[in-house]
Amino acid sequence: MSKLMSRLGGLIVMVSANAFAEYGFNMTKGVSSVARDIYGLHMMVFWICVAIALIVFSVMIYSLIVHRKSQGVVAANFHESTKAELLWTGIPIIILVLMAIPASSVLIDLEDTSKAQMTIKITGHQWKWQYDYPKEGISFISNLKQGSKDVIYSGNRHKNYLLEVDNNLVLPVDTPIRFLITSNDVIHSWWVPDFGVKQDANPGFINDAWVQIDEIGIYRGQCTELCGKDHGFMPIVVDVVSKADYAKWVSKQQAAKAVTLAKSSKTWGEEELISLGQKVYNTSCASCHGITGKGIPGVFPALKGSPIATGDIKKHISIVLHGKTGTAMAGYKNMLGDSDIAAVITFERTAFGNQMGDLIQPAQIKAAR
Amino acid sequence: MTTVTDHTDDGHHGPEKGLMRWIKTTNHKDIGSLYLWFAFVMLLIGGAMAMVIRMELFQPGMQLSEPQFFNQMTTMHGLIMVFGAVMPAFVGLGNWLIPMMIGAPDMALPRMNNWSFWILPFAGGILLSTFFMEGGAPAFGWTFYAPLSTTFAPDSTDFFIFAVHLLGFSSIMGAINIIATVLNMRAPEMKLMDMPLFVWTWLITSFLLIGAMPVLAGAVTMMLTDRNFGTAFFDATGGGDPVLFQHIFWFFGHPEVYIMILPAFGVVSHIIPTFARKPLFGYSSMVYASASIAFLSYIVWGHHMFSTGMPVAGELYFMYATMLIAVPTGVKVFNWVSTMWRGSMTFETPMLWAISFVFLFTIGGFSGLMLGIVPADIQYQDTYFVVAHFHYVLVTGALWAIIAATFYWLPKWTGKMYNETLAKVHFWWAVISVNVLFFPQHFLGLAGMPRRIPDYSLQFADFNMISSIGGFAFGASFILFTYILIDCIRNGKPADARPWEGAKGLEWTLEPKAQYHSFNIPPTKVLIEQESQNS
Amino acid sequence: MNEQEYYIPSGTYWPIIGSVGIATLFVGFANQMHGASWGGSIMVFGFAILVFMMFGWFGQVVKESTSGKYNSQVDRSFRWGMSWFIFSEVMFFAAFFGALFYARQLSVPWLGGADNNVFTPELWDGFSATWQQIAFNTPGATLQSGTAVSVPTQLVDVWGLPALNTALLLLSGVTLTFAHHALRADHRNKIIGWLVATIVLGVLFLGFQIAEYGHAYHDGLKLTSGIYGSTFYMLTGFHGFHVTVGVIMLTVILYRVQKGHFSADNHFGFEGVAWYWHFVDVVWLGLFIFVYWL
Ligand code: HEA
Ligand code: HEA
Ligand code: CUA
Ligand SMILES: [Cu+2]
């Protein structure tokens, strides 16, 4: 009976889901050979389980219906059968062995990253991803897009809400790619379901994974290891493009880098600094120290009126550049450029009623590095 | 043999009066009741937290909590349900039932039994007090992975660590007591293979507890020193490894989940034969299956860590070992089905819970098996598919058995009968809503919703809403459950000594409301054999 | 009491007092670590309650036992209780031994690039994966927790004090067994002699262990010396703590022998402590082999 009920529940669920056909029920087939292999395994095991369940539950339901006292049945008295017991120990073992064989071969393929032709290094931070292309000399941080942040507490949530970032990871199609995955603080996990890649980012160790993507498109994923407050807000967006577009993208990035470098050698005005600073603050710092600089007591200190943000400027620069070991405060030396850091410090010393009024120039940051 | 109690006012075999009775008691029934009430209160507290989780997840966006608070809810919900509700409930059942089932007057070490219980409220108090500390309650998941729980956690974490130490002491003492009781207080004529299955499964569970809980104590001790004294167990900068924490935790954690299910297997193995009016099928294979499950549970912990970057050989090994557990568990399921086969069944409330246990636990077991396939687990790990799996085995497994046991033995505990009609209404309400609650979570997980997130993107909205509605309905069923219990205790009609027609077991030979000291005189060989499940 | 009767002890306040004590101890300790000036005193207070509880509880049990209230069934329950308690202690140590093996066989080599961690060394320039003196990327490095790493300048000398200590503990196991034989044969003076010898050996062990700590510490081996220092001090430290408890228990037993509490066939208290002592002994052998020697 309860079986019936659970089926009924499933049915209700199914009907409601059909109205939104794009909302998945099942695992994605994905866009890589690994993902497809996994999908195949998943379905195989699933159907085996369904088959066994059908047999076991049918026997049970039959018995529930027929062998009732109210039907006038008198209980039998058997309570042993070595034959039956051997059978239902042996058959499952055979089934399990049959399942283990393909599973092992997929696993071995999945873990072999030696075919890769290019390498991307992925570093998890609380709560953003950093992507490095070591060969190409490209490096950037990928944050949850402001558009999603703005509507978390209210407003119209659009398609891809929480699954969009400011800087997509860009990858070429049809290329075996190796990911080197690590973390700068706690454990994160980098997961893009369509690739069939989920790998923990462990601080101090580098894990690897690989994928060869077959289709151009945009693929989304999320951090899947609880990594603190904003674990739910560190999505992954991968833009898979043709090899030619990828090459174009790479050279554009390299050119952009030169522009940023040039910017950091000029002297900035107050307004410029503060408006950039606010932008940087909101993307990089507000997740901990709060939009209003109040932090979370006992976890993240307030910057509003903080002794450092209203005190010695050297200390302020130092903590932003180098962070503080033993706390969640990471060093931003390798994550932000000189102008960004100068701007955010200037902002912190002016905003939240911290009326220090001093301007920090990129050159000062460069000198302090 | 007869029983001597060491009361100052010698000769009385009844309890003292007032509050002191409960604080000083050495009586297994008193202590069992304390455990059960404690577990019940914790279930409501942990359940209330689950309601907060389900409310926040009712629709996309953050409505009633902050992310940090949500993580505290998830974490404390898991911790309280596991350590506060399910484990103490089974210890409570063990306390109440084991002496009655083995023909003993009481537990072997009654004073230690008292201490095992009376540590719990202190541990629970310390754990809950972290909510009021700066930085808030633990927010790193019930699995408290380092370094989120070490370097990156607030000061209140040290209180959490000590609470876990206390819970560990309590469980270890409880387990020692049960081993000593089963091995030493058994009626002289009762052979091991005469013991009822609940006693067997608890005995095996005790070995799991004694083996696993000290390892948990070691894990939190390492956390403590990493946090405060500069050791580097989980810190790569010093040659340690955050993943080491996971190995130690799951060396405890996996046996822990079987600690929560083995006694449940025991309970179900009593209820099904009773209402099928037919002896339990395959008594001895049940015993061996339980022992194999327990043994295997010590060597499969790595299946929680398939995405941590273990070497392939390790992953293969843990996959094979994990899959093996399906075999003895299958033996149990098949035995239950065979027990029902050609029985003469009636469907009183305990039987309804037991039958639905077999269905729903099996579903949970199958999803467990799917999780055990490493490549597939890469896609499942840390998604709602896992959440669905473990609620099927924990809620419709462990909790189901606890509720089944409550209805089954309530007449023996209170001497009164509960309201059968209401109880049936409660059952159907619960069993339907629990599936609405947890079944859609499979889909959520497969579609890619990670667990432990306070907010989600739009494609997960529908199933989350369905799940939440099921959750509220299931939560409300506990109001009825509470009413049924209180109604039974207050106004229940007197019950027979053996209220179930097909029930076997020494406990039913006692008075309708079991006397304060169960067996002052050990049962005779004839009686034991007559009441044995193994015949 | 009659062998034909079950014995159920009376209710008692000791457990609840114990709970209050241990909770007070922990709450005090936690506050102490977070810099509350009163934390330490609360901790001591909690400890005092705990000691009071133990004296009271064990005292009551001893009184009941000597007044003949217990029969052999109670005795057996105590035995089962003590043996499984010791087993749980074994598992506690196993967690730390496990950490040691893991670090040594897996995590340290991984940091150096072993197995599937070929890329890991990218994070650690200048790292050398040598056990005991793990050298970290830069001198003056700090752990995640912010404490400075202390790199030992010298290895612990296995065949000095540690070897001597092994001999002492093994010997103490033998003397304790002699005491037990003497107890079985009811030779009171002999029991006392052998017991005293055991206690003296235990105290000597502790003394040498402290001296040994002094040397190691002087050579820069500290709790903060990375995973080797962590496992070294946590394992030997917990062991030392157990030896201390063992010595205290032996002393209590000595006192009880003098009081004439034990008879040739009824002396569970003695045996329980003896088991405990042998367990401490065996753990030391593990330590000697895996921490000091190999
Ligand atoms: C009572 C608790 C309980 C029980 C009994 C189980 C039972 C099982 N569990 Fe589960 N599990 C949990 C509680 C439990 N689990 C919890 C709490 C977590 C999450 C922890 C966290 O991360 O927070 C978890 C997570 C978990 C994972 C990790 C998922 C992940 O994080 O990626 C895995 C992976 O292998 C797993 C596997 C299994 C298996 C193989 C069983 C098996 O024992 C199931 C065996 C039963 C059957 C298979 C059904 C009956 C058998 C038959 C009818 C015979 C025929 C069958 C065949 C031949 C197929 N479990
Ligand atoms: C035996 C253990 C157990 C039990 C019984 C439950 C019971 C429930 N659990 Fe779960 N749960 C866990 C163990 C358990 N859980 C664990 C270990 C985790 C993992 C934690 C982690 O990730 O670290 C988890 C995580 C978990 C999550 C995932 C959270 C996340 O990943 O962020 C969710 C989400 O839906 C959930 C829901 C529920 C619900 C709705 C119930 C319901 O069954 C609860 C029903 C009970 C009540 C509702 C209480 C009684 C009623 C009242 C108090 C009356 C008032 C009620 C109303 C307001 C209606 N639980
Ligand atoms: Cu990063 Cu979760
Ligand atoms: Cu497990």
The 3 state secondary structure assigned to chain C is CCCCEEEECCCCCHHHHHHHHHHHHHHHHHHHHCCCCCHHHHHHHHHHHHHHHHHHHHHHHHHHHHCCCCCHHHHHHHHHHHHHHHHHHHHHHHHHHHHHHHHHHHHHHHHCCCCCCCCHHHHCCCCECCCCCCECCCCCCECCCCCECCCCCCCCCCCCHHHHHHHHHHHHHHHHHHHHHHHHCCCHHHHHHHHHHHHHHHHHHHHHHHHHHHHHHHCCCCCCCHHHHHHHHHHHHHHHHHHHHHHHHHHHHHHHHHCCCCECCECHHHHHHHHHHHHHHHHHHHHHHHHHHC
Q: What is the 3-state secondary structure (H, E, C) of C230-282?
A: HHHHHHHHHHHHHHHHHHHHHHHHHHHHHCCCCECCECHHHHHHHHHHHHHHH
In a mutational test of the C interface, the residue from B2, B3, B4 whose CB has the highest number of chain C CBs within 10 Å is: B4
> Could you tell me if A248 and A284 lie in one domain?
no
Q: Max alpha carbon distance in chain B (Å)? A: 70
Residue B417 amino acid letter: M
* Residues B221, B216: Cα–Cα separation, whole Å: 8
Using a CB-CB cut-off of 8 Å, the residues of chain A touching C119 are 180, 206, 208
Residue B24 amino acid letter: K
Which has more pLDDT, B494 or C70? B494
The secondary structure element, H or E, covering residue B428 is helix B420-447
Distance B254 CA to ligand 4 centre (A): 4
* pLDDT recorded at residue B314: 94
Q: Cα dihedral sign for C204, C207, C211, C212? A: positive
Per-residue tokens: B51: 């309601």
End-to-end Cα, chain A, rounded Å: 70
Using a CB-CB cut-off of 8 Å, the residues of chain B touching A110 are 375, 378
Measured between CA atoms, the residue of chain C closest to residue A179 is C119
Query: Is residue A148's pLDDT more than 80?
Result: yes
Per-residue tokens: B133: 């500390």
Among candidate residues A255, A280, A314, the one where a domain is terminated: A255
Contact B244 C34 (CB under 8 A): no
Residue A154: exposure state from Cβ atoms within 10 A (0-12, 13-18, ≥19): exposed
* pLDDT recorded at residue A54: 95
> Could you tell me if A131 and A100 lie in one domain?
no
CA dist C280 to B207, C251, C253, C256, C276, Å? 22, 16, 17, 22, 6
* Residues B338, A78: Cα–Cα separation, whole Å: 9
Question: Is B116:B213 a contact under the CB 8 Å cutoff?
Answer: no
B395 lines ligand 2 (CB under 6 A): yes
Q: Max alpha carbon distance in chain A (Å)? A: 96
> Could you tell me if A289 and A340 lie in one domain?
yes
* pLDDT recorded at residue A10: 47
Measured between CA atoms, the residue of chain A closest to residue C144 is A326
Q: Is position A132 within any domain? A: yes
Per-residue tokens: C151: 């790199």
Query: Is residue A2's pLDDT more than 50?
Result: no
Question: Is C81:B112 a contact under the CB 8 Å cutoff?
Answer: yes
Q: Which residues pair with A199 in a beta bridge?
A: A190
> Could you tell me if A247 and A135 lie in one domain?
yes
Instruction: Closest CB to A59: pick one of B71, B156, B337.
Output: B337
* % of chain C surpassing 70 pLDDT: 95
* Residues C131, C108: Cα–Cα separation, whole Å: 8
Contact C69 B6 (CB under 8 A): yes
Contact A225 B145 (CB under 8 A): yes
> Could you tell me if A122 and A107 lie in one domain?
no
Among B37, B115, B118, B142, the one annotated catalytic: B142
Q: Is position B121 within any domain? A: yes
Interchain contact B180–C (C-beta under 8 A) = yes
* pLDDT recorded at residue C114: 82
For chain A, how many structural domains are there in total? Answer: 3
Residue B304: active-site member:
yes
Domain of B316 in residue numbering reads as 23-531
For chain B, how many structural domains are there in total? Answer: 1
Please give the CATH number for the structural domain made up of C72-293: 1.20.120.80
Could you state, in chain order, the average pLDDT of each consecutive group of 10 residues for chain B (535 residues)?
A: 54 66 90 96 96 95 90 96 96 95 92 95 95 91 93 91 95 95 92 94 96 96 92 88 95 95 96 94 94 96 94 94 95 95 93 96 96 95 96 96 96 94 96 96 94 93 94 96 95 91 90 86 88 81
Among candidates B185, B225, B176, B224, which has minimal Cα distance to B203? Answer: B176
Residues in chain C: 294
Contact B374 A38 (CB under 8 A): no
Q: What is the 3-state secondary structure (H, E, C) of B84-127?
A: HHHHHHHHHHHHHHHHHHCCCCCCCCHHHHHHHHHHHHHHHHHH
* Residues A277, A9: Cα–Cα separation, whole Å: 52
> Could you tell me if A100 and A132 lie in one domain?
no
Residue A116 phi, psi dihedral angles, 5° rounding: -60, 145
Interface A–C counts its CB contacts (< 8 A) at 34
Per-residue tokens: A253: 């990035």
Query: Is residue C24's pLDDT more than 90?
Result: yes
A interface toward C at CB cutoff 8 Å?
111, 180, 182, 203-206, 208, 324-327
- CATH number (domain holding residue A162): 2.60.40.420
Question: Is A330:A185 a contact under the CB 8 Å cutoff?
Answer: yes
Assign A5 a pLDDT band (cuts: 50, 70, 90): very low
Assign A11 a pLDDT band (cuts: 50, 70, 90): very low
Instruction: Closest CB to A299: pick one of B68, B341, B356.
Output: B68
Report which ligand 2 atom has the smallest distance to the Cα of B54. 35
Q: What is the ipTM of this complex?
A: 0.93
Residue B516: active-site member:
no
Domain of A335 in residue numbering reads as 264-368
Residue B106: active-site member:
yes
* pLDDT recorded at residue A226: 95
DSSP A12-79: HHHHHHHTTTTS-SS----SBHHHHHHHHHHHHHHHHHHHHHHHHHHHHHHHHHHSBGGGTPPP----
* Residues B521, B526: Cα–Cα separation, whole Å: 14
Measured between CA atoms, the residue of chain B closest to residue C2 is B1
C117-150 burial code (b ≥16 CB/10 A, e <16): bebbbebbeebebeeebbbbeeeebbbbbebebb
Assign C112 a pLDDT band (cuts: 50, 70, 90): confident
Query: In this structure, which residue's CA is closest to atom 1 in ligand 3?
Result: A188
Residue B442: active-site member:
no
* pLDDT recorded at residue C265: 80
* pLDDT recorded at residue B52: 96
- CATH number (domain holding residue B286): 1.20.210.10
Region C192-214 average pLDDT: 93
Contact C1 B4 (CB under 8 A): yes
pLDDT in tens, A68-82: 998 888 888 888 888
Residue B317: active-site member:
no
Instruction: Closest CB to C120: pick one of A206, A325, A327.
Output: A206
Lowest-confidence pick of A327-336, B114-123, C127-136: C127-136
Among candidates B285, B95, B237, which has minimal Cα distance to B173? Answer: B95
Nearest-neighbour CA in chain B from A89: distance (Å) = 6
Residue A237 phi, psi dihedral angles, 5° rounding: -130, 125
Please, where are the H alpha helices in B448-492? 461-491
CA dist A232 to A142, B443, C238, Å? 15, 19, 40
Q: Is position B30 within any domain? A: yes
Query: Is residue C246's pLDDT more than 60?
Result: yes
* % of chain C surpassing 90 pLDDT: 51
* pLDDT recorded at residue C224: 84
Per-residue tokens: B459: 């494609």
Nearest-neighbour CA in chain A from B360: distance (Å) = 8
**Residue partners of B50: CB distance under 8 A and separation at least 6:** B77, B81, B471, B475
Q: Cα dihedral sign for A15, A21, A25, A26? A: positive
The domain locations on chain C are 1-70, 72-293
Distance B46 CA to ligand 2 centre (A): 7
* pLDDT recorded at residue B162: 96
Using a CB-CB cut-off of 8 Å, the residues of chain A touching B454 are 232
The secondary structure element, H or E, covering residue B332 is helix B326-340
Residue B389: active-site member:
no
Q: Is position A296 within any domain? A: yes
* Residues A346, A274: Cα–Cα separation, whole Å: 6
Question: Is C134:B238 a contact under the CB 8 Å cutoff?
Answer: yes
Query: Is residue C187's pLDDT more than 50?
Result: yes
* pLDDT recorded at residue C3: 65
Among B194, B256, B315, B507, the one annotated catalytic: B256
List pocket residues of ligand 3, CB cut-off 6 Å.
A 124, 127, 188, 223, 225-227, 231, 234
Per-residue tokens: C250: 């032996």
B236 lines ligand 2 (CB under 6 A): no
Which has more pLDDT, B56 or C8? B56
Among candidate residues A111, A136, A170, the one where a domain is terminated: A111
* Residues A131, A239: Cα–Cα separation, whole Å: 13
A88-120 burial code (b ≥16 CB/10 A, e <16): bbeebeebbeebbebbbebbeebbebeebeebb
Residue B12: active-site member:
no
Assign C2 a pLDDT band (cuts: 50, 70, 90): low
In a mutational test of the B interface, the residue from A110, A125, A186 whose CB has the highest number of chain B CBs within 10 Å is: A186
The subunits that touch chain B, with at least 3 C-beta pairs less than 8 Å apart, are: A, C
The owner of tokens 């006292």 is A69
Q: Is position B463 within any domain? A: yes
Q: Is position B251 within any domain? A: yes
B250-261 burial code (b ≥16 CB/10 A, e <16): bbbbbbbbbbbb
The subunits that touch chain C, with at least 3 C-beta pairs less than 8 Å apart, are: A, B
Q: Which residues pair with B450 in a beta bridge?
A: B383
Instruction: Closest CB to C144: pick one of B147, B210, B244.
Output: B147
Lowest-confidence pick of A21-25, A117-121, A170-174, B390-394: A21-25
Assign A3 a pLDDT band (cuts: 50, 70, 90): very low
Question: Is B71:B454 a contact under the CB 8 Å cutoff?
Answer: yes
Per-residue tokens: B460: 């997960």
Contact A45 B68 (CB under 8 A): no
Residue B200: active-site member:
no
pLDDT in tens, A17-69: 443 434 578 898 899 999 999 999 999 999 999 999 999 999 999 999 999 99
CA dist B386 to B173, B367, B379, B392, B441, Å? 32, 8, 10, 10, 9
B31 lines ligand 2 (CB under 6 A): no
* Residues A50, C56: Cα–Cα separation, whole Å: 61
> Could you tell me if A239 and A161 lie in one domain?
yes
- CATH number (domain holding residue A326): 1.10.760.10
Region A289-310 average pLDDT: 86
Contact B278 A76 (CB under 8 A): yes
* Residues B157, B28: Cα–Cα separation, whole Å: 34
Please, where are the H alpha helices in chain A? 2-18, 33-66, 82-110, 146-150, 243-263, 270-280, 286-289, 313-322, 338-350, 362-368
A220-247 burial code (b ≥16 CB/10 A, e <16): bbbbbbbbbbbbbbbbbbbbbbeeeebe
* pLDDT recorded at residue B530: 87
- CATH number (domain holding residue A67): 1.10.287
CB atoms within 10 A of CB B472: 16
Nearest-neighbour CA in chain A from C110: distance (Å) = 8
Residue B329: active-site member:
yes
3 state DSSP class of B14: coil
Query: Is residue C218's pLDDT more than 90?
Result: no
